[in-house]
Chains A and B, each alone.
Chain A
Amino acid sequence: MTVSYYPGCTLKTKAKNLDLYARKCAEALGIALEEIPEWQCCGGCYPVAKDEIATKLSSVRALAAAKEKGQTLVTVCSACHNVIKRVNHDMQTDEEIRDKVNRYRAPDEPYEGETNVLHYIEMLRDLVGFDKIKEKVVNPLAGKKIAAYYGCLLLRPGKVMAFDNPENPSILEDFIRALGAEPVLYPARNECCGGYLTLEDPEIPKKRSETVLQSAQNHGAEVVTTACPLCLYNLQKNGGSEIPVVYITELLAEALGLK
């Protein structure tokens, strides 16, 4: 199966391992990731105000490109996923935004939110199947206690992201189990790392990220995993702990014997 792939800016630079192993593993699992030609940066944060139109265009261009090919759009970075999924929801449900965007773009066929947007982990669950992944594991991560860090972007707002139960998610724990490891449940797994405030006031992400890592370690975690480059940065740089923080695709590649 071939899907449209939106890597995003950070996967081309500071988060190359997130991208590299996403591609390698997808190939091994029978999914071709076809990178959208000339994709543009999503902007990192969803433009929340109802009158923001220009800031939504890069997402719509990616969504429309996938629609033209009749493909599902797959993202890996949690931030890109949050932005693109929410813009798609606007195009489905907000008549004013849809009308203005389509007038601006003036395409032959208006875009009305038809593209199915999946995060890489949803792709693994829904298009490959965690059972099939389990069968393909050659290097089970047996005995490893891994804490999934969801953060905010994959889960909220719950009704729009429709990713999992926003207060008690389980998809990443199911993924960790499929790789042969033991998932660690801890209370701070869906709390914020402090995000982009690290630029002007690192003290804030420090407090937030320390809370997350301490919570994970208090519950026995040996490794923390995330899909978000900024979460990974904050946990590593501002988390005040030496516990390894790795991308979900790195864990998958290790289990599949591709790393």
Chain B
Amino acid sequence: MEQNNFKETVLRISGVNPKKCMRCGKCSGACPNYDEMEFHPHQFVSMVENGEIEKLMTSPSVYKCLTCFACVERCPRQVEPAKLIEAVRLCVIRQAGQNHLKPDQIPEMLDEDLPQQAIVSAFRKFTK
């Protein structure tokens, strides 16, 4: 897929218009996982706008978003960065063989208190 097609896909499935962003940085200021990310929420917005989707797709940052929606709630322009991060991650995991989490990895991750909710949530986020 060409770069432009990825951009089109990200815009379509996220429903986000990155051009509304006024670069205030509040999304990254609100992000609880900012320190763990190579590219931060505000960079997802500008890089999607510039069509730099593949750079984002190969970054571990797509798996660091907690989808806590703090950036969405606190954005003064309703840009909704978390929806862009989700769309970029889907561009990766919807490709053949690109699931980020595999069932045979699960047993070693388990402990006796871990709720099912953690497993179903991770599968929904990381696999197709």
Contacts and interface: CB of A to CB of B under 8 A. Distances in A.
Interface in A29-87: 41, 43-45, 47-51, 55, 77, 79
A13 B109 CA distance: 18
Contact of A166 (B73, B120, B124): B73
B116 A10 contact: yes
B119 to A, nearest CB: 7
A195 B66 contact: yes
Contacts, number: 124
B69 A157 contact: yes
Given A13-B115, A49-B90, A230-B117, A156 B12 contact: no
A191 B70 contact: yes
B39 to A, nearest CB: 16
A58 to B, nearest CB: 11
Nearest to A159: B73
B66 A156 contact: no
A115 to B, nearest CB: 22
A233 B86 CA distance: 25
Interface stretch (A102-110, A121-129, A137-145, A196-204): A196-204
For the residues of B in contact with A, the DSSP-based class is: helix
Contacts of B14: 48-50
A31 B91 CA distance: 45
Contacts of B70: 152, 156, 191-192
A158 interface: yes
A14 interface: yes
A77 B67 CA distance: 17
Given A197-B66, A204-B36, A49 B87 contact: yes
Interface string B82-105: 110011001000000000010000
6 contacts: A45-B67, A45-B124, A45-B125, A77-B117, A157-B72, A199-B118
Given A166-B73, A208-B33, 14 more contacts: A13-B115, A15-B115, A44-B120, A45-B67, A45-B121, A50-B14, A55-B124, A152-B70, A156-B70, A156-B73, A195-B67, A195-B121, A230-B115, A233-B113
Interface of B: 12-15, 32-33, 36, 63-64, 66-70, 72-73, 82-83, 86-87, 90, 101, 106, 109, 111, 113-122, 124-125
Interface of A: 8-10, 13-15, 41, 43-45, 47-51, 55, 77, 79, 152, 155-158, 166-167, 191-192, 194-200, 204, 208, 211, 228-230, 232-233, 236-237
Please give me the 10 A-B residue pairs with the lowest Cβ-Cβ distance, nearest first: A44-B121, A192-B68, A156-B69, A196-B121, A44-B120, A152-B68, A229-B115, A49-B13, A14-B115, A48-B86
